[in-house]
């Protein structure tokens, strides 16, 4: 167990950073009052480690001192520096990050300088979730939500994403930042009536559009676009958002919840996706995005026709084919759109059509559109209530997918076809009765 003398070693207060961290720490006079605490692999209970880990000497040196100060509860400038040394050895050591926050709070340290230091760690080890959590804790403690701070934080994640566009730690932190900076601080909320000053979601929409212009196959950017469209107040259905927000009052979780997109935004997103699909019709990401739009409560008969039109407008060939087909007029009937879309040899399109034909019908869409207070989590109507011709088309698409894909996915689509058979049988019994 460590023990500390009543007074720290002479010269500690005026010692430089390099002097305090001079290795080995166990022979450093500025740590002379600390008794190193060795790692116990069972020796204290008379056990002999079977496969002991051969830690590097410099790592054991730092960790023996670190364990001692944790046991003692010391929170001081030198312990703050020690936490940096531990993080330098192993940036995923969550105990070091926790101790560092305790020191920062006790010492009333400059948190903006800490943010700058954490940024250097983020650029070095960007997939370390401990540092991103640490950064959120700092921002919450500062509660400074100005444009400059928001820009710095979003720019850091953009720099990290430039290194790896699929770094989900950075994307998760970026989503947290959008929620955080879109709400006023406690002081600003009291003085400004609670109105957020920053349109970070609008800026984010432009950022995501730039990413997709650079790489239409950036699935993370497609996911972020959906996140923005269902979180920003200016993009969601106001009535449904107010309904779900009122039910969430009193919850300890202040994170904005997903809300239905407004009808106008659905039109905008269908038009946006139609352009991107022409660039890469066999890219799965926009098809998943379209399925998310399809499942929005405000998706109605007009949206359904737009979706059929964008599918029918795609080139008919497989990847690399250059063949074209005559464009359909804007006033094409739904029957013409269905015939063209159903013949498209694109498995992603066929999968979406199954969802469209199974989950949508003119009656259910009109009902959802007419309801002014439909909850955000409104479930899709039962497939047994849909017109039989649509279910026949969905069944045919399932069989085509089952014939084209690998055995595992073919089994799934065979199961879907069986579900549709059951729905058709139920509809037939209903008609007879």
Catalytic residues: 127
Q: Could you identify the residue written with the tokens 């409560």?
A: 297
Q: For the range 145-153, what are the long-range contacts, defined as Cβ-Cβ under 8 Å and sequence gap of 24 or more?
A: 145/180, 145/181, 145/183, 145/184, 145/185, 145/188, 145/197, 145/198, 146/197, 147/197, 147/198, 149/181, 150/177, 150/181, 150/198, 150/200, 152/115, 153/177, 153/181
Distance CA 334, CA 153 (A): 47
Instruction: Name residue 261's beta-bridge partners.
Output: 236
Distance CA 311, CA 348 (A): 10
């Amino acid at each position: 167990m460590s023990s500390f003398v009543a007074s720290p070693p002479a010269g500690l207060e005026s010692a430089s950073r390099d002097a305090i961290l001079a290795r080995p720490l166990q022979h450093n006079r500025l740590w002379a009052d600390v008794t190193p605490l060795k790692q116990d692999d069972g020796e204290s209970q008379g056990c002999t480690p079977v496969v002991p880990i051969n830690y590097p000497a410099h790592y054991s040196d730092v960790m023996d001192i670190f364990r001692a100060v944790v046991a003692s509860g010391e929170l001081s400038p030198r312990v703050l520096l020690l936490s940096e040394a531990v993080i330098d050895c192993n940036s995923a050591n969550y105990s070091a990050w926790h101790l560092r926050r305790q020191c920062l709070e006790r010492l009333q340290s400059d948190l903006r300088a800490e943010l700058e230091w954490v940024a250097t760690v983020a650029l070095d080890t960007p997939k370390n979730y401990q540092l991103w959590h640490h950064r959120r804790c700092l921002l919450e403690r500062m509660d400074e939500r100005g444009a400059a701070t928001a820009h710095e934080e979003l720019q850091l994640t953009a720099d990290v994403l430039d290194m790896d566009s699929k770094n989900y730690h950075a994307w998760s932190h970026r989503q947290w930042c959008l929620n955080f900076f879109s709400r006023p601080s406690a002081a600003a909320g009291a003085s400004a009536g609670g109105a957020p000053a920053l349109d970070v979601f609008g800026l984010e929409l432009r950022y995501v559009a730039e990413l997709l212009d650079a790489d239409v196959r950036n699935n993370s950017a497609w996911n972020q676009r959906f996140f923005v469209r269902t979180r920003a107040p200016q993009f969601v259905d106001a009535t449904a958002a107010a309904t779900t927000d009122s039910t969430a009052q009193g919850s300890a979780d202040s994170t904005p919840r997903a809300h239905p997109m407004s009808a106008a935004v659905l039109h905008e997103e269908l038009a946006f996706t139609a352009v991107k699909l022409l660039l890469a019709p066999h890219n799965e990401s926009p098809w998943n995005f379209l399925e998310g739009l399809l499942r929005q409560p405000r998706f109605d008969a007009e949206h359904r026709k737009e979706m059929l039109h964008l599918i029918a407008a795609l080139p008919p060939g497989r990847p690399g084919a250059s063949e074209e087909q005559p464009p359909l007029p804007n006033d094409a009937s739904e029957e013409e759109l269905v015939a063209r879309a159903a013949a498209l040899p694109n498995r992603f399109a066929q999968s979406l059509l199954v969802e469209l034909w199974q989950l949508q019908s003119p009656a259910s869409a009109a009902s959802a559109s007419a309801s002014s207070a439909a909850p955000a989590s409104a479930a899709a109507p039962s497939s047994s209530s849909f017109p039989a011709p649509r279910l026949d088309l969905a069944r045919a698409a399932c069989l085509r997918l089952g014939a084209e894909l690998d055995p595992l996915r073919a089994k799934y689509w065979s199961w879907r076809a069986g579900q549709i058979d059951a729905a058709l049988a139920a509809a037939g019994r209903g008609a007879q009765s």
